[in-house]
Amino acid sequence: MSASSTLSHLSLSFSSSSFIHKPKFLYPITNNYYPNSVSLSTTTRICASSSSSSSQLMDPFLSKTQPPIPTTVDVDLGDRSYPIYIGSGLLNQPHLLQRHVHGKRVLVVTNNTVAPLYLDKVVEALTKGNQNVSVESVILPDGEQYKNMDTLMKVFDKAIESRLDRRSTFVALGGGVIGDMCGYAAASFLRGVNFIQIPTTVMAQVDSSVGGKTGINHHLGKNLIGAFYQPQCVLIDTDTLNTLPERELASGFAEVIKYGLIRDAEFFEWQEKNMQALLARDPNALAYAIKRSCENKAEVVSLDEKESGLRATLNLGHTFGHAIETGVGYGQWLHGEAVAAGTVMAVDMSYRLGWIDDSIVKRVGDILKKAKLPTTPPETVTMDMFKSVMAVDKKVADGLLRLILLKGPLGNCVFTGDYDRKALDDTLRAFCKS
C-alpha cells in the first residue's frame, strides 16, 4: 500500500448522521432561551430513591424542603459505566457521593485555591451519617506548571503514609489539573483504586472530568504521561462556578464551542445567541451548556473510549493549543485560551485546504471574541517551536501528524493525516512572526 493510500485509509470522516450528536431534547433556538427540561431542577434520567413516587419526582413545584433532583447523563461503557450528576447544591446531597464509596478510606486530592472553599463541604458530604468512613486530604499547589511527577509523588506520599488500601477511594476536587493528576494517581496506586471526579471549573465540568483521560505533563509536551482510567461518577455542583474567576470561566467555553463546531451545529447556534448569558453566569444557561456538552462527550466516549478514531475529534484545536502551552511555559496561558487560538489555526488550515467556506471562519472568530478568548497565539511562539512540539504530539502515527480539521457544513470534521503539508506551513507562517 502506498503512503498516500495509507494516509487515505487513516483519514476518518465523521460527517455521517450516525456520528452527529442528536440529543433527546431539541428546542427552537432563540435568543436567551433555556429549555426548562434541561434546567437545574429537571433531568434526562431522574436519580432518586425508589420510595419516591413518579408523580413526586416529576412535579416541577416540589417542596422547598426537598433537595433539587440532579440531571444525570450516563457514560455507557458496559460494566464500567458511570453517571454524571449535574445540578445546583449537589454537595449538600451526601447520598450522591456515598453511594460510590465502597471502602472505609477516602483521600481527597485538591489544591490550595479550592480547598478553603469546598474541602470541608466535601468531607462533610462523604461522612455525614456515615461515621465509618475516614477522610484524608492532600492539598497541592494550584496551576498547570505543577502538573508533573514531583507533584504526583505528593499524592502517593499521602496515600502511603495514611496506609490506604485497594478498597480506598480517591476524590478529585478541583479543575482539570487536579482531576488529571488524581485520576492518574488512582490508576497507579496499588495498581488501581476507585476515584470520583468533583470538577469545579467549566473546563473540567464540560470536558476533562468525563471520559477517563488522566495524566501529567512532560517538559517536552503536554499530557504525554498518563492512562485511560474511568471514575466511579462525576459530580458537577454548578454552584462551584460562583467562585470561579472570570478568566477561568471564559477559558472553559473554548471546549463548549468545540462541541458545536465538530458535531453539534444547533448547539453552536445556541451559543452564538447566548454567550453573553454564559459569561454573566446565568444559572439556566450554564446548566444547559454543561449538560449538552456532557451529552456530546459521553456519546463519543461510549463509542470510542481509547481514542482510536472518533474520540480524537474532541481534540479540535488541541494540537496547535498544546504547542502554545508548551512554548510559552505551562501555566502562562490557560488551557482554554490556548485551545481557542489553536482552534482558529485549525479552522484557518481547513479553509486553506478548501474544506470549509469563509463564513465558518468568520463565525468561529466572532464567537471566540465574544467569549473573551484569544484568536491568535502569542508572538513568542515561533514556527519552529510549533513544529518541534507538534512532532511529539500523541496523534502522530508512523511519523505522520494527524490533525482534527473542519470539513463540510458546520458540525462536521475529519481526523486525518491526509492533507497538503503546504496548508499547514501556510497557516503557521500566517500566525507566527518567525
Active site residues: 191, 213, 255, 297, 307, 311, 315, 318, 322, 335
| C-beta atoms surrounding 129 within 10 Å | 8
Instruction: Give the whole-angstrom CA distance, residue 395 versus residue 427.
Output: 19
Euclidean distance between CA atoms 138 and 109, whole angstroms: 5
> CB–CB of 197/209 below 8 Å?
yes
What CA–CA distance (Å, rounded) separates 159 from 264? 42
Cβ-in-10-Å burial (0-12, 13-18, 19+) of 31 comes to: exposed
**Hey, which residues does 213 pair with through a beta bridge?**
228
Q: Which residues contact 380 (CB under 8 A, 6 or more apart)?
A: 327, 328
CA distances from 104 to 133, 134, 165, 221 (A): 4, 6, 10, 38
The residue type found at 91 is: L
